[in-house]
Amino acid sequence: MTIASSADHPTRRDFLFVATGAAAAVGGLATLWPFVSQMNPDASTIAAGAPIEVDLTPVAEGQDIKVFWRGKPIYISHRTKKQIDEAQKTPLSDLKDPATDESRVKQGHEQWLVVIGICTHLGCIPIAHEGNYDGFFCPCHGSQYDSSGRIRQGPAPANLPVPPYQFVSDSKIQIG
């Protein structure tokens, strides 16, 4: 008898099972979301990552400073005439990750190079004023960057990234 009754309405029965299974799947997936989302930076971390202002007056030509923004070291180099020239004259064909020097600095402020000091290979911090290109040298696996922070030699695949920043005055920048 039970067999007969279930054979009478196979579709209704199947529909119920599918609907219940689908509801369970949707509920389960929705429940997962908070458990994944909580891993993202929390509100205070995001708020602490707000833009910072850096005063450039103490940085003399040929010197550089390291500041932290969102936990990342940012190199701010006051480039010498020589460094600027080298950076501008390098043909794009010599570059692994071609980019002009103009595209990596702000117009009218060519003496300032602002890059995120994290090697694009595996994340070590390159040392400034070292290596063969008057730029940065990464001690971990020997990547070398030029005075525009572009990758020239070694295993790193890309140039040192330029963080979002702008000049709020001639001697002050806002990073972020």
Partner 1 sequence: MSGPSDYQPSHPVLKWIERRLPIFGFVHGSFVAYPTPRNLNYWWTFGAILSLMLGVQILTGVILAMHYTPEATMAFHSVEAIVRDVNYGWLLRNMHATGASMFFFAVYVHMLRGLYYGSYKEPREVLWILGVIIYLLMMATGFMGYVLPWGQMSFWGATVITNLFSAFPYIGDSIVTLLWGGYSVGNPTLNRFFSLHYLLPFLIAGVVVLHVWALHVAGQNNPAGVEPKTEKDTVAFTPYATIKDMFGVSCFLLLYAWFIFYMPNYLGDADNYIPANPAQTPPHIVPEWYYLPFYAILRSIPNKLAGVIAMFSAILVLAFLPWLDTSKVRSSKYRPLAKQFFWIFVVVAVLLGYLGAQPPEGIYVIAGRILTVCYFAYFLVVLPLLGKIERTKPLPNSIADDVLAKTGSKAVPMVSTVLALIVAGGLLVGGIDTARAAEADTPPANKWSFAGPFGKFDRGSLQRGLKVYKEVCSNCHALSYIAFRNLGDPGGPGYSTAQVASLASEYKIKDGPNDQGEMFERPGRAADYFPSPFPNEQAARNANGGAAPPDLSLITKARSYERGFPWFIFDLFTQYQEQGPDYVAGILQGFEDNPPADAKVPSGSYYNKYFPGHAIKMPKPLSDGQVTFDDGAPTTVTQYAKDVTTFLMWAAEPHMEERKRLGFQVFFFLIIFAGLMYFTKKKVWADAH
* Interface positions with ligand FES (CB under 6 A): 119, 121-124, 138, 140-143, 154-156
Indicate the residue among 23 and 122 with the shorter CB distance to ligand FES: 122
Are the C-beta atoms of residues 174 and 51 closer than 8 Å to each other? yes
| Residue 57 makes contact with partner 1 by CB under 8 A | no
**116 closest CA partner among 86, 140, 153, 149:** 149
| 99 touches 107 (CB < 8 A) | no
Q: Is 40 in the site for partner 1 (CB under 8 A)?
A: yes
158 near partner 1 (CB under 8 A) = no
Could you say which of 4, 47, 60, 92 contacts partner 1 (CB under 8 A)?
A: 47
Query: Using an 8 Å Cβ cutoff, are 125 and 161 in contact?
Result: no
Measured between alpha carbons, how far apart are the two ends of the chain, in Å?
Answer: 73
Decide if residue 6 touches partner 1 (CB under 8 A).
yes
* Nearer to partner 1 (CB atom), residue 43 or residue 60: 43
